[in-house]
Structure 1
C-alpha cells in the first residue's frame, strides 16, 4: 500500500448491504479492536442522532450482521470486522445533539453463551474409554456453533502427535485415562476451547477477510507465521513505541511430577528456556526433587500427577504463554488496515534489543474527526529467536549511529 494516506475510505455494511449515505454522514467515530485468544473482536460505531432518527432503526436491532472495511482511496478497503450487533446505547444531553452508539462483536460470542457439561471419550471393547484427540474436539466445538474451523498444518501435526501420546498413555496406564479425557464442566465453550488451544500451542483468531466472512475461526500456530506483514520505522511511519522487558515475575522453568506405575517410581520433569543460548532446556530426575543443571532463579511446580504422555502438553501449555510475555510493547501509527491480531510487524530504528519482529496481540483501528490511526499491543515470541537479528531489521545503536550487530547474534 504505497498510496499517500490522504483520503481514508470506510465501508459499513448491515445485513450484507452497504450503509446508506445518510447513515455514513451521521458517523462521528468508528473503533474496531481485534485480538488473539478468547476475547471477541469488537466494533463500536458512534452516530450523531439528529432528530433521534437512529433510535429505533432496524439496522441496529440485536443480532443484525454488521461489517467494517477500512483503507485509502482509490484502493479497495480491507475487511477488518464481520459480526453481529450485541448492544446499543443513547445519550440525551441537556445541551448539544443527541448521540447513539452501536456495539458489535464477532461470532465467538456464540461459544461464550454455551456452557454444557460433557466429556469427550470413545468407548472401545476390551480396552475401555480412550480420549478423543484435540484435533477432533476443537473443530467440533466451532462447528456446533456455526463457525468454520481452520487448523494450520503445523498445528495439526503437533496436535496429532500430542493426541497419539495421550492415547498411548491411556492404553499403557488405565488409571490415568480419566485425567487425559477432555471434560467440559463449569466453563463456557469458549473458555474450554481456549484451554485446548493453549495446551496445543494454538491461538484463537477470527479471520474477517476470508469467505464466508465472519465465520472462519482459525486455530493458528504462531511459529508458522514469522514473515512481517508491515515494516514501521521510528521517526517515520512509527509514531509512538513503548517497549518493555522485565524478568520480574517471569517463570524460569515449569516442573511436573510424572508417576510411573510399572516401576512405582515418580520422576520430576523440568522444562525451561535458556535466554542466553535461546533454546529449551529439559531435565529429568528420579523422585520429587529439583533437576540440576538449570540456572533459572524462579520456577512453578505443577502440583498434580501426570503421565509421560500428558506431561509435554501440560508443560508447554503453561510455559510458552509465560515466555512470550517477557518482552511486550505498545505503539501507534497512521491508520493501516494490514495491522491486525496475529500478524507480524518489523520495527526499525529502535535499537537491537527492541527492534526486529513482533507479534500483534491486539490492534485498534479508529476513524474520527482526527483522521484514521492504528494502535497496537505487541509481544516478542521465542520463535523469533531463531532468526538472525540483522535479518529482522534490528540494528545496534552506538553513539547515536546505527551499526550492524555482532555476527554471533
Structure 2
C-alpha cells in the first residue's frame, strides 16, 4: 500500500454471475460486509433498499439477480487499487419489513467452503495422506485443490457421518493445518505465519486501534502425542518442543521459551486421538505444538479499509514498543463498505514470540 492510497476515495464493485450490478441496483445498495476466517467459511452481506418510492412496490426482493446459488464477486479498495475480497455464492435472503423504515433486502452468502457443509458422509479412505483426502473432497465439490503435502500415509481413515467440512477440518486440526479458500481454490496447508509480510501498519499513522493480549496460560514447553500402533503392537510417542515453534515471526524470544524462564517446564500429553504409526504421531505433535505456540499473543485491530489485509496473511505492526511490535498472522478480517461511513477494515491476529 502506498501513502497516496489513503487520499483516494473508497471504491466498490459487486459482480453477480460475472456481471456488474446494474445502475438501479447499485443506487439502492446501502452497505457491503465481507467476513473472512481461516477456521470457518467466510461470509458476505449485501444490504439494499428494495422499494420503488414512485411505483410504491417491491423491487429487488424478487429479482433473479439475487437467486439462491448465484455467484457473487466482491471487490473493494480504491480507484487505483481494487482487489477481489471474496468470491462466494448466495445462500440466503432476509428481507426486513418494518413500518418505521423503507423495506430492505439483506442478501447473504458464503465462500465456497459452504459446499463442504452440505450433507453428511460415511466413507473410508485406505493408504492415503490427509493432503490427498483434501484433494479428493475438493474435486467432488467442484473446487480446485492446492495442498501442502502432509507426508504421512495413513492405513485407514473413516469419515463417520460427518459433513465434508467437519471431517476435513478435523483432519487439519490434528496436524496443525488449516482449510482455506481463495475464489474457487481450496487450500489445505499449515498456518502460513512464516511467509513474508504483505504490508506494514504503524500505530498513530495508519492504524486506528490495536489491542494485543499476551497470555502465558496455554504455553507448554513440550507436547507429546501417545498412541498404540496395531501393526507394530507397541506404544508410539510423538514429541515436539522448544525450537519447533515454526520461527519467531521477527521476534527474539518465543512464548514457550519465555514461559519456561518465568515459570519452569510445563508439558502436555494427548492420549485421546487414534494413531497408527510413529510418523503420524510425530506429525501430530509438531502441528499441535505449533498451534499452541502461535496463540501466545492474540489481538484485534482496525484501520482505514485496506484490501491487502486478508485472513491467512502476515502483516507487520509497528509503533507498539519493542515487546508487541512485529509480525502477526491474520486469523479473521471484516471489510465493511457503506456510502455513509466509507471503507473500514478490522482484523484479529496471532503471534508466537516477542
- Alignment TM-score, normalising by the size of structure 2: 0.85
* Alpha carbons 2:239, 2:286 under 8 Å: kept: no
Q: Report the CA distance between 1:223 and its aligned residue.
A: 4.6
Question: Distance between the aligned counterparts of 2:308 and 2:140, measured in 1?
Answer: 31
Q: SS at the partner of 1:77?
A: strand
Q: In the alignment, does 2:138 pair up with 1:142? A: yes
Aligned to 2:226: 257
Aligned to 1:287: none
Question: Distance between the aligned counterparts of 2:134 and 2:231, measured in 1?
Answer: 33
Distance 1:352 1:224, change over 3 A: closer
Aligned to 1:8: 10
Q: Report the CA distance between 1:203 and its aligned residue.
A: 1.9
Distance 1:112 1:251, change over 3 A: farther
Answer 1 or 2: higher relative contact order, Cα 8 Å, separation at least 6: 2
Aligned to 1:119: 124
> Runs of 5+ in structure 2 lacking a partner?
53-57, 246-251, 258-262
Structure number, greater radius of gyration: 1
Q: In the alignment, does 2:85 pair up with 1:80? A: yes
Q: In the alignment, does 2:344 pair up with 1:373? A: yes
C-alpha distance after superposition, 1:29-82 (max 9, x if no partner): 110011213x11111011122232112111111111111001111x15101111
Aligned to 1:285: none
C-alpha distance after superposition, 1:379-405 (max 9, x if no partner): 114xxx5xxx8xxxxxxxxxxxxxxxx
Question: Distance between the aligned counterparts of 1:34 and 1:261, measured in 2?
Answer: 41
Q: In the alignment, does 2:69 pair up with 1:63? A: yes
Q: Report the CA distance between 1:323 and its aligned residue.
A: 1.9
Moved more, 180-189 or 354-363: 180-189
Aligned to 1:28: 30
Distance 1:300 1:77, change over 3 A: same
Q: In the alignment, does 2:232 pair up with 1:271? A: no
Question: Distance between the aligned counterparts of 2:214 and 2:139, measured in 1?
Answer: 39
Distance 1:258 1:48, change over 3 A: closer
Q: In the alignment, does 2:128 pair up with 1:132? A: yes
Question: Distance between the aligned counterparts of 1:356 and 1:27, measured in 2?
Answer: 38
Q: In the alignment, does 2:325 pair up with 1:355? A: yes
Aligned to 1:187: 162
Q: SS at the partner of 1:237?
A: coil
C-alpha distance after superposition, 1:103-153 (max 9, x if no partner): 0111111111132111111xxxxxxxxx212232210110111000012xx
Aligned residues: 333
Question: Distance between the aligned counterparts of 2:94 and 2:218, measured in 1?
Answer: 40
2:96 to 65, 73, 91: 91
Q: SS at the partner of 1:315?
A: helix
CA RMSD after TM alignment: 2.7
Q: Report the CA distance between 1:237 and its aligned residue.
A: 0.3
C-alpha distance after superposition, 1:348-391 (max 9, x if no partner): 0001221100011011000111110100000114xxx5xxx8xx
Aligned to 1:100: 105
* Alpha carbons 1:254, 1:302 under 8 Å: kept: no
* Alpha carbons 1:138, 1:196 under 8 Å: kept: no
Moved more, 28-37 or 216-225: 216-225
- Alignment TM-score, normalising by the size of structure 1: 0.75
> Runs of 5+ in structure 1 lacking a partner?
122-130, 167-179, 208-213, 282-293, 390-409
Aligned to 1:127: none
2:285 to 304, 315, 326: 315
